[in-house]
């Protein structure tokens, strides 16, 4: 068996084409494009590259995006004030706070302050709670990218066993909730899970988001499973690999996302999709 490689770049191109038309329809109806603000506090070179990537994709789709830069010395009080100003700004339909924050700043404060209707990465307390209840407006973008891949490839989920590796608040936990809502039977594994291969070999859909290079070997995968690799790991000698040993697992799985080129290309595009959604929802109702 040779796994079908799930091309995130090709799917991303399809979604961008869909969004361009929808953004233009919004612009014609409202007289302006949807607006996105990326809040960046301090940040190294990698952080700057990420911001530029967001701006580039927004420009390709037609969304007006800008970066609001705060210094590394920003206090929690100043951060809260800046978020409240964006909450009140009608031109900012979507707000994305770039993570991770400097260590002295509170992610909890961001979750409590950002307006749920502008929280396009689903980190606010209300959006997280709504996800648990099955009524989320906005989803964490990486978890949403995984579901997008599964849906676009018509991967069966109802009644299937899905195993998620990693319990982060931005991928593992929300993804488990989203899979449950698709009627999958979900197991959430983590660093304290004993005998991990016993769980992974049961998975019809196996998703790894732990950030450990080539953790998933062929022996850990059920023949014919669909494997989604969320991990991005930089090797000591250079190069990027995922959590999955792609070459070996491709001989066992029926479908597999590559790294790079799988989940990653969809993540920022889905942020744009949710920014457009926020803009539509912000239109006053008569």
The string of pLDDT tens digits covering residues 210-251 is 999 999 999 999 999 999 999 999 999 888 999 999 999 999
- 126 within a domain of the structure (yes/no): no
Q: DSSP class of residue 219?
A: G
CA distance 127 to 171: 14
CATH number of 74's domain: 3.40.50.10860
Residue holding tokens 């926020």? 278
Specify whether the CB–CB gap between 183 and 157 falls below 8 A.
Answer: yes
- 275 within a domain of the structure (yes/no): no
Mean pLDDT for all residues in the chain: 95
Q: Are residues 182 and 260 in the same domain?
A: yes
- 207 within a domain of the structure (yes/no): yes
CA distance 44 to 280: 34
What's CA 194's distance to the chain center, in Å? 28
pTM: 0.94
Tell me the angle at which helices 141-152 and 172-181 cross, rounded to the nearest 10 degrees.
Answer: 40
The candidate with the shortest Cα–Cα distance to 6, out of 212, 217, 220, 242, is 242
- 57 within a domain of the structure (yes/no): yes
CA distance 132 to 169: 12
Tell me the angle at which helices 45-61 and 8-30 cross, rounded to the nearest 10 degrees.
Answer: 60
Q: Is residue 85 predicted with pLDDT exceeding 90? A: yes
Domains of the chain: total: 2
Q: Is residue 76 predicted with pLDDT exceeding 90? A: yes
% of the chain surpassing 90 pLDDT: 92
**Element housing 208 (H / E):** strand 205-208
- 205 within a domain of the structure (yes/no): yes
pLDDT at 1: 63
236 phi/psi in degrees, rounded to 5: -55, -35
Quick count: other Cβ atoms within 10 Å of Cβ 155? 19
pLDDT at 49: 82
CATH number of 194's domain: 3.40.50.720
Specify whether the CB–CB gap between 3 and 250 falls below 8 A.
Answer: yes
Q: Are residues 115 and 156 in the same domain?
A: no
Q: Are residues 113 and 160 in the same domain?
A: no
Q: Is residue 135 predicted with pLDDT exceeding 80? A: yes
Which of 66, 87, 121 terminates a domain? The answer is 121
Q: Are residues 117 and 183 in the same domain?
A: no
The candidate with the shortest Cα–Cα distance to 113, out of 139, 137, 87, is 87
CA distance 119 to 147: 19
Which of 62, 86, 121 terminates a domain? The answer is 121
What is the arithmetic mean of pLDDT over 15-32? 97
Collapsing DSSP to helix, strand or coil, 69 comes out as strand
- 282 within a domain of the structure (yes/no): no
Q: Which domain holds residue 59?
A: 31-121
Q: Are residues 207 and 236 in the same domain?
A: yes
């Amino acid at each position: 068996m040779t796994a079908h490689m799930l091309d995130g770049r090709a799917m991303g191109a399809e979604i961008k084409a869909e969004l361009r038309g929808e953004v233009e329809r919004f612009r014609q109806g409202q007289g302006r494009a949807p607006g996105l603000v990326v809040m960046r506090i301090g940040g190294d070179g990698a952080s700057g590259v990420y911001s530029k990537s967001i701006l580039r994709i927004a420009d390709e789709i037609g969304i007006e995006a800008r970066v609001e830069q705060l210094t590394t010395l920003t206090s929690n009080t100043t951060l809260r004030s800046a978020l409240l100003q964006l909450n009140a700004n009608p031109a900012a339909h979507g707000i994305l706070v770039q993570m991770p924050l400097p260590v002295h700043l509170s992610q909890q404060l961001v979750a409590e302050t950002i307006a749920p209707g502008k929280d396009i990465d689903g980190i606010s307390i209300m959006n997280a709670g709504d996800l648990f209840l099955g009524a989320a407006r906005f989803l964490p973008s990486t978890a949403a990218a995984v579901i997008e891949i599964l849906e676009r490839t018509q991967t069966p989920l109802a009644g299937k066993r899905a195993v998620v590796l990693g319990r982060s608040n931005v991928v593992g936990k929300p993804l488990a909730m989203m899979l449950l809502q698709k009627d999958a039977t979900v197991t959430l594994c983590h660093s304290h899970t004993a005998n991990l291969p016993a769980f992974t070999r049961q998975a019809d859909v196996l998703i790894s988001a732990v950030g450990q290079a080539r953790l998933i070997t062929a022996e850990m995968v059920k023949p014919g499973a669909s494997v989604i690799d969320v991990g991005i790991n930089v090797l000591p000698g250079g190069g990027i690999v995922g959590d999955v040993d792609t070459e070996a697992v491709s001989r066992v799985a029926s479908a597999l996302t590559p790294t790079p080129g799988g989940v990653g290309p969809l993540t920022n595009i889905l942020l744009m999709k949710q920014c457009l959604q926020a803009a539509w929802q912000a239109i006053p109702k008569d």
